[in-house]
Chains A and B, each alone.
Chain A
Amino acid sequence: MAEDLPPKPLPRPTPVTKAFWDAAREHRFILPRRGDGSYFWYPRALTPGALDDDWAWAPATGRGVVYSYTIDRRGSALAFSGDVPYVIAIIELEEGPHFTTNVVGCPVDDVRVGMPVEAVFDDVDATTTLVKFRPRA
């Protein structure tokens, strides 16, 4: 069955986002940070709202908590139906922004809103690394 599924969509980095994906490839988690020290996600040409260029990439902790999650049990996302059940979650990062990912490294039914998590790096192919999250103590 799995071989009949469409391929999973993979990120296609752009000139603005390439630094994030390059860092992930090196198993580093970085975020765009404004001049005032606040963070935003996702990376944009100019800062959202203020529309200025006062931002730079900065190392991030890779820590956060689960803000919300769902368990795809039936393959609502067709390309992923070979993986069910799996968790899609929005992580509230320690730096503030929300980041969508998969929670891995625990049974799907153990995931809870508010669960502390940390980044792990999934080298999905020769050029792409996805940032996923797992429970942390």
Chain B
Amino acid sequence: MPTDRSRRAAIAGYTEWAPQRRWPERMFMLEAFQRITREACDDAGLDPAEIDGVLSTGIPESPMFGPAAIVEYLGITANFAEVVDLGGASPVGMIWRAVAAIEAGACDACICLASTIPQPSSGTGGAWNPSRSYLGADAWGSPHGQFDLPYGLNNPNSHFALVAQRYMHEFGVPPEALAKVAVDQRTNALSNPKAVFRQPITIEDVLNSPLIVDPLHQLEIVMPCFGASAVLVTTLERARQLKRRPVVLSGFGEHVTHKSTTYAPTLVQSPIKAAADRAFRMAGVDRDAIDMASMYDCYTVTVLLTIEGSGFCGPGEGGRFVQEHDLTFRGDWPLNTHGGQLSMGQAGIAGGMSHVIDALEQLQGRAGERQLQGCERAYVTGTGGFMSEQAALILEGA
């Protein structure tokens, strides 16, 4: 049965800076947060003074007390302010937390912030760069610092390659099936002015691109970019008075199973299964009620495991599923209509938000030539760590 919720929340607006491989203007995260908060408020038609909730990932300018630093810098006061630490799943995790906070009565308007922009240089090499310390895995006392890093298992490429190798071995999934994901998403990107990659590619192009970490080829791996985005959540009642079509969250789920791939309970079924089952149960709808999906796609294999785990096909059937369906916005099973991060570019943490915004564009009728007809219900996923923490959203136009 759908959860009974008398006070409903709704997404009222968003902003998204197009990903770029080189960012023209350095800025601190706090500065980017001010600008994107202003833009998201303008998009919705909401006065920034109404914001009383803030969600973000950790910020370099204030590694401790980050939420308070953001509130202070924005010049607001908040009834709900938190850091979400789910890697690439953080933006999807922010959306349901914002909705839950509003529906629980903790706050009335919550801004969800994601930014990865180069910082101004300090001239003394003080820039904050967690990737230099293997995403923090080499901290004193970290099990992974002792048992993964000394063997070179210290970066997402290698972790996801281990997932892909076992998955393809266990189910006999051919490389062409993984490549199909990259090809269809590139077709979508050709019609997205915000996408970094705008040249068509074929399955042969993907399989002929260099092997980076077997079995993953270069065109199956996201390009790191810079960018920022914000999504504004408020009450459905307030959203109805604003400029955009309100979008409600009818179901959500989140599941965390491990940190390092070494200790994954299995490499052939990802945590999205528990998250998706919870989300669909909460929404009270079947899988075939979904009009479009936007699935976190740091690598091609991520999409196949997410399709399977989300219940759109059975275990091991993801390869056949993507080969039997046209995943483009003109196709029978539109997926990542923005091109996915594989073709749009992965704007750091904002890459995870791009899937939320892909769904919002479709549900609010703002997708331009990629617009789907009659799109009322979207399924969105986020993936963090190394297929180790995932979250699912079911969004509906209201």
Query: B158 and A77: CB pair below 8 A?
Result: yes
- Once A88-B151, A100-B151 are accepted as A-B contacts, the answer to whether A70 and B214 lie under 8 Å apart by CB is yes
Complex: how many Å from CA A101 to CA B260? 13
CA distance A42 to B143 in the complex (A): 7
Report A105 CB to chain B, min CB distance, Å.
15
Contact at B213–A73, with CB atoms within 8 Å?
A: yes
Chain A residues near B214 (CB-CB < 8 A): 69-71, 73
Chain A, 56-97, CB within 8 A of any chain B CB: 67-74, 76-77, 79-80, 83, 86, 88, 90
Cβ–Cβ < 8 Å partners of B161 in chain A: 70
The reply to whether the CB of B267 lies closer than 8 angstroms to some CB of chain A is yes
Q: How far is A133 from B210 in the complex, measured between Cα atoms in Å?
A: 27
Question: In whole angstroms, what is the CA distance A98 to B266 when docked?
Answer: 10
Q: How many residues of B contact A (CB 8 A)?
A: 36
Closest chain B residue to A8 by CB distance? Answer: B150
Q: Are B154 and A77 in contact (CB under 8 A)?
A: yes
Given known contacts A42-B147, A70-B161, A100 and B153 CB-to-CB distance under 8 angstroms = yes
Nearest-CB residue, chain B, relative to A10:
B150
CA distance A102 to B263 in the complex (A): 16
Contact with A along B135-167 (1 / 0, CB 8 A): 000101101011111111111011001110110
Contact between chains at B145 and A76 (CB < 8 Å): no
- Would you call A9 and B210 a contact (CB within 8 A)? no
Of chain B, the residue at the smallest CB distance from A69 is B165
Q: Compute how far the CA of A122 lies from the CA of B4 in the bound complex, rounded to whole angstroms.
A: 60
A23 at interface by CB-CB < 8 Å: no
**Nearest-CB residue, chain A, relative to B154:** A77
List residues 36-59 of chain A with CB under 8 A from any CB of chain B. 41-42
Find out whether the CB atom of B146 lies under 8 angstroms from the CB atom of A100.
no
With an 8 A cutoff between CB atoms, is A113 at the interface?
yes
- Cβ-defined contact, B138 with A68, below 8 A: no
Q: CB within 8 A of A90: which of B146, B152, B213, B261?
A: B261
CB distance from B163 to the nearest CB of A (A): 7
Which chain B positions have C-beta within 8 A of A21?
A: 146
Known: A68-B169, A69-B165. A11 touches B150 (CB 8 A): yes
Check B162–A70 contact: CB distance below 8 A.
yes
Asked if B212 lies at the interface with its beta carbon under 8 angstroms from chain A, I say yes
A130 within 8 A of B: yes
CB-based contact A88/B153 at 8 Å: yes
Contact A86 B213 (CB under 8 A): no
Q: Are A12 and B145 in contact (CB under 8 A)?
A: yes
- Residues A98 and B262 in contact, CB atoms below 8 Å apart: yes
Residues in B neighbouring A100, C-beta threshold 8 A: 147-148, 151, 153, 260-262
Complex alpha-carbon distance, A74 and B152, angstroms: 12
Q: Is the CB of B151 within 8 A of A72?
A: no
Q: Mark B228-268, 1 if CB is under 8 A from A, else 0.
A: 00000000000000000000000000000000111100010
Q: What are 27 A-B pairs at a CB distance below 8 A?
A: A9-B134, A9-B138, A9-B154, A10-B150, A11-B146, A11-B147, A11-B150, A12-B140, A14-B141, A14-B146, A42-B147, A68-B169, A69-B214, A70-B158, A70-B161, A70-B215, A70-B216, A71-B214, A73-B213, A73-B214, A76-B157, A76-B213, A79-B152, A79-B154, A100-B148, A100-B261, A113-B165
Counting from the closest, the 8 A-B pairs by CB-CB distance are: A70-B161, A68-B166, A76-B157, A9-B149, A11-B146, A77-B152, A100-B262, A80-B152
B residues with a Cβ closer than 8 A to A are 134, 138, 140-141, 143, 145-155, 157-158, 161-163, 165-166, 169, 210-216, 260-263, 267
